[in-house]
Amino acid sequence: MQIVKVEGSLQCTARIEGLKHVALRVLQTESGSRLVATDPVGAEPGNWVFVTSGSAARYTAGDFEILTDLAVCGIIDHWPDKE
Amino acid sequence: MKICQIIRPLVSTNRIAMMEHKLLQVVQDGSAQAVAVDAVGAKPGDWVICVGSSAAREAAGSKGYPSDLTIVGIIDKWPPESDEA
């Protein structure tokens, strides 16, 4: 599972039913590239979170029907610990 | 899921039968271009969200649909110019 930073939430009204009404967050990986994940936890912009990818991401929101391949699993309390 | 921009539709009349008649779009993901099945009906220039792995197959139609990248949503406003908190 990857550690990423939450950049902000993403508004997307035109979406397929498979996405239901889950919150979408824009995430920034340490390499700087941007990703989008579903967020059952409710992370704020600026939080460091860890995400799970692939079909495992579909189990995080309780039912298997959510069509996602990346989902936030939890907010990290202290990160990065280098400081 | 990735944020991509639609370049244009991809026309491929000679394709495997399992792909049926789904609309295929050429999408730009950063520097790389890829082909994604369009499940929402986006037009060129739209910023969209693309999903991969098993979710891409179900979003495209059925569990057995041979897609590893499917467009699942059109973003309302992108890029977010005003960097509000």
> pLDDT per residue over B23-59, tens digit each?
999 999 888 899 999 999 999 999 999 999 999 999 9
pLDDT in tens, A15-47: 999 888 899 999 999 888 999 999 999 999 999
Collect all residues of chain A within an 8 Å Cβ-Cβ radius of residue B59. 16, 18, 67
Cβ–Cβ contact A29 with B under 8 A: no
The two tokens of residue B47 are 């910023």
CATH number at residue A41: 2.40.50.220
pLDDT at residue B85, as a whole number: 46
pLDDT at residue A59, as a whole number: 86
User: A25: closest CA among A73, A64, A76?
Assistant: A73
Range of the domain at A57: 2-82
Cβ–Cβ contact A37 with B under 8 A: yes
Our count of domains for chain A comes to 1
Q: How far apart are CA B47 and CA B63, in angstroms?
A: 26
Give this prediction's pTM: 0.83
Averaged pLDDT, B13-29: 90
Q: Is B65 exposed, middle or buried (0-12, 13-18, 19+ CB in 10 A)?
A: middle
